[in-house]
Amino acid sequence: MSTFTLPLLEWLDIPAGRVTLDGGAGTFDVQPFKIAKYPVTNAQFEAFIQDAGYKDVTWWEGLAYAAGSPRASDWREPDCPKLEVTWSEAVAFSRWLAQQTGLNVRLPTEWEWQWAAVGASGWDYPYGSAFDAAKCNTKENSFGRTNAVTDHAAVETHFGTVDMSGNVWEWCLNEGVMLKNVQIEGIENRALRGGSWNNAQTNARAAFRSHRTPRTRTFNIGFRVIAGL
């Protein structure tokens, strides 16, 4: 395995499991995988940009919305989540990171994401069943922006993940409506999970499902990566 690393790139081991999604969307078996402890940060994404990430066509092959140029995050501190990033940009970064690390890096599916957030705990949130504004960044805090991904690192969560409730929505691999479709090609909406600093607590529940067009760039959507099969 490569010794390549990035600031705040830490992997957590997630065991196998079984997940039932809200709204009758189905039940899925989950194989073991590794997940990034934190959402992708500005500093991590900047490493991709500086390594010709938007010029190397390798990372953009097959994507409906190709390279273009990056858009800066609304809040640009190195340890804050990368924002203003499309689903295609998240996929391209994942491909780049896969080559650097020798791991099968990609976006998580919704069921992998939900399992990493709460497992079989039955909790509504990664830290427990009851909402707690002190343990996440949602609209209830009136913070009005993203925070550093490490700000809630001391909050005990089911598998040790950080910021899977609030701060930024996170792109997932699968389509939002035909969710079993996980192919890279296409322009259909892609799933989002986790809520954000600009959304209420109900959106930050681990089971809450949303989706947007993959070309969306906005002030409250980011992503995190997994290393799976």
- Burial class for 180, CB neighbours closer than 10 Å (0-12, 13-18, 19+): exposed
Angle 194-196-202 from CA coordinates, rounded to 5°? 65
Nearest CA among 223, 103, 123 for reference residue 169: 223
Report the relative pairing of strands 190-193 and 210-212 from DSSP bridges. antiparallel
Statement: residue 229 has pLDDT above 80: no
Statement: residue 67 has pLDDT above 80: no
Going along the chain from its start, the domains and CATH numbers come out as: 11-227 (3.90.1580.10)
Statement: residue 95 has pLDDT above 70: yes
Q: What is the rounded CA–CA span in Å between residue 114 and residue 218? A: 23
Q: What is the rounded CA–CA span in Å between residue 65 and residue 80? A: 25
Average pLDDT of 69-74? 96
pLDDT at 36: 98
Average pLDDT of 56-64? 94
Statement: residue 139 has pLDDT above 90: yes
Average pLDDT of 109-137? 97
Average pLDDT of 41-55? 97
Number of Cβ within a 10 Å radius of residue 189 = 17
pTM of the model: 0.97
* Phi, psi values for residue 125, rounded to 5°: -130, 160
3-state DSSP percent of the chain in helix, strand and coil, to 5:
20, 20, 60
Average pLDDT of 216-226? 97
